[in-house]
Amino acid sequence: MRINPINMPAPKTAAAFKPLSILFAASEAAPFAKEGGLGDVVGALPKYLARMGHDVRVVIPRYYSVNLKKYGLRLLPGTLVVPMGVIGFQYCGVWEGRLPGSDVPVYFLEHEAYYGRAGLYQQDGEGYLDNDNRFVFLSKAALELCKMLNFSPDVIHAHDWHTGVIPVLLNTSYLHDRYVGDAASLLTLHNMQHQGNFYPGLMDVLGIGWKHFNYLELEMDDQVNLLKGGIYHATLLNTVSEEYSREIQTAGFGWGLEGVVSERANDLSGILNGVDYEEWNPAVDSFIAAKYSARTVRKGKAACKRDLQATLGLPQRDDVPLFGVVSRMVKQKGTDILAEAIHRILEMDVQFVIVGNGEPWAHFYFGDIAALYPEKFACYIGYSEALAHQVEAGADFFVMPSAFEPCGLNQMYSLAYGTPPIVRATGGLADSVENFNEATMSGDGFKFWHHSAAALFDTVGWAAWTFFNNPKGLAALRRNGMKKRFTWEAAAQKYDELYRLAVLRRRGAEYYRNRFGG
């Protein structure tokens, strides 16, 4: 997005800093409820915005997995009344907590019928059949919550399709609402593959009138597409890396919405996610066997490697490269090309570990590989926060052969842990990893471009060769990676600018000048 300099928000000198009020509405937030990177982002970015001085609040559902006791949540007095169109009014309770390490309030919507189950989105790989109502409810309840809290946000920050319909609601049934009618919206696109496609009758649950079921707004292939509506209506849009903001305007990455996105290219920018270095830092990580810094990386990683090998039942060998994966096991992550390449990879004198879950075929497939190569391959099928950290620290290389990757966090964690990532150069992987240059000893990882088992195998081979034959190169890779920083402070600064621009667009120059000066 090119920001018109005439419309540029006023410079923010410390004295001139005027805080914004921001509501994050999302389907997950770490550590309360998380399935992937979306949870990491919603659990971290608000903390850093609050440190800048903004009034930030977060709303997510109260799934059964949200532990009320552990986080000391308290039930707020009162009930939210949420208009669900033909379904009628739905009532829900609200729990309140704080994002750990901050004062940021998090509100949890308690609705037994919609959220009283263990999973966030699915069970045994099958999406819940009422996900349409569950997330339309979340979107509407987020707006009703503002009334309950007497909170008028400047900006509502929506994420992916689950809350993607909020910008539509703000421009229709909530346009004249006392609390949110003036709110600007920012829709962050974390993943274009999932769009919230449902039967047309959902229009009657949205209750905004069938005139919005048209090819520009909510209709897509005769279905309601919540993400499409959000892309059309949001004040501004962003993706989680610059490269992905370009990619989604092309057929290969837009999943049918590339045209809709291109129409709004002037309002779309890319902001790379940050790393929460309070969580992902080998110098303070309590999950790993030995804490280490860039100075002690060799010794520290060797201890972590031995510990990981023992934990996963592999021979404790220092003399072989250990490759690690922590990932949802789905096509997006290149699980299919890894499945194809793994036999050839294991012909080398290497070890390989996978921590992940996802599509059932992958559970069986990699389970069988573990049985075939017990000395070389181990996997943990499931979700384990501790193991995710232990792989980052204990592996020599981290493997991410994604077909597409809007940002990706694990490659950035790997860099921080001195574990050079092997990535396919797409989206955030392209933006955050620099390819190793043996001549200049620059770079911090290994990149390949062609999405194929052959290219993956070759690049894993290059890393293995580096491990065996180029110890100075390996040391340089570790050093370069550990020096790199992807701070949430830097990302929060960019979001701050986008929020202000969104307010300017929504409420006009006069309001903006009165409110913020400039």
Chain residues in the site for ligand ADP (CB under 6 A): 36-38, 40, 326-328, 355-357, 383-385, 388, 407-410
Residue 393 · residue 293 · CB < 8 Å: no
Cα–Cα distance for residue pair 303/311, rounded to 1 Å? 12
Nearer to ligand ADP among residue 160 and residue 267 (C-beta): 160
Q: For 66, which DSSP code?
A: S
Query: What's the CA gap between 400 and 261, in Å, rounded?
Result: 27
Identify which of residues 191 and 351 has a Cβ nearer to ligand GLC in the complex: 191
Is 240 among the residues that bind ligand GLC (CB under 6 A)? Answer: yes
Determine which helix (DSSP H) or strand (DSSP E) holds 123, and give its type and residue range.
strand 122-123
Q: What three-state secondary structure class fits 400?
A: strand
State the sign of the Cα–Cα–Cα–Cα dihedral 450, 451, 453, 457. Answer: positive
Give the separation between CA 67 and CA 63, rounded to whole angstroms: 9
Please, what is the minimum distance in Å from the beta carbon of residue 272 to ligand GLC? 9
Which one of ligand GLC, ligand ADP, none is in contact with 388 (Cβ closer than 5 to 8 A by kind)? ligand ADP
* Cβ-contact 433, 390 below 8 angstroms: no
Residue 44 touching ligand GLC (CB under 6 A): no
190 near ligand GLC, rule: CB under 6 A: yes
Q: Name the residue nearer to ligand GLC (CB basis): 44 or 503.
A: 44
Token output for 442:
């620059």
Please, are residues 341 and 457 in contact by the beta-carbon 8 Å criterion? Answer: yes
Of 206 and 342, the one with the shorter C-beta distance to ligand ADP is: 342
Exactly one of 153, 282, 408, 445 binds ligand GLC (CB under 6 A); which one?
A: 408
Report the partner that residue 240 touches, choosing among ligand GLC, ligand ADP, none (CB closer than 5 to 8 A by kind).
Answer: ligand GLC
227 binds ligand GLC (CB under 6 A): no
Q: Which of 26, 29, 30, 38 binds ligand GLC (CB under 6 A)?
A: 38
Task: Determine the Cα angle at 107 with ends 106 and 108, to 5°.
Answer: 120
> Least CB distance from residue 413 to ligand GLC, whole Å?
11
- CA dist 411 to 195, 305, 347, 447, 500, Å? 25, 18, 25, 12, 31
* Nearest-angstrom CA–CA distance, 213 and 225: 9
From the list 369, 358, 380, 357, the residue with the least C-alpha distance to 308 is 380
Cβ atoms of 159 and 190 within 8 Å: the answer is yes
Q: How far is the CB of 506 from ligand GLC (least distance, A)?
A: 24
When asked if residue 407 is in the footprint of ligand GLC (CB under 6 A), the reply is: yes
Residue 153: asked if its preceding bond is cis (omega within 30°), the reply is no
Q: Which helix (H) or strand (E) holds 448?
A: strand 446-448
The site that binds ligand GLC (CB under 6 A) totals a number of residues, namely 14
167 binds ligand GLC (CB under 6 A): no
Q: Shortest distance, CB of residue 429 to ligand GLC, whole angstroms?
A: 9
Q: Rule CB under 6 A: is residue 271 a binding residue for ligand GLC?
A: no
**Contact call for residue 157 and ligand GLC (CB under 6 A):** no
Shortest Cβ 194–ligand ADP spacing (Å): 10
- Residue of minimal Cβ distance to ligand ADP: 37
Judged by CB, which is closer to ligand ADP: 368, or 385? 385
Q: Which is nearer to ligand GLC, 191 or 245 (CB)?
A: 191
Other CB atoms within a 10 A radius of the CB of residue 64 amount to: 13
The only residue of 90, 191, 195, 459 in contact with ligand GLC, by rule CB under 6 A: 191
Binding site for ligand GLC (CB under 6 A): 36-38, 41, 190-191, 240, 273, 405-409, 428
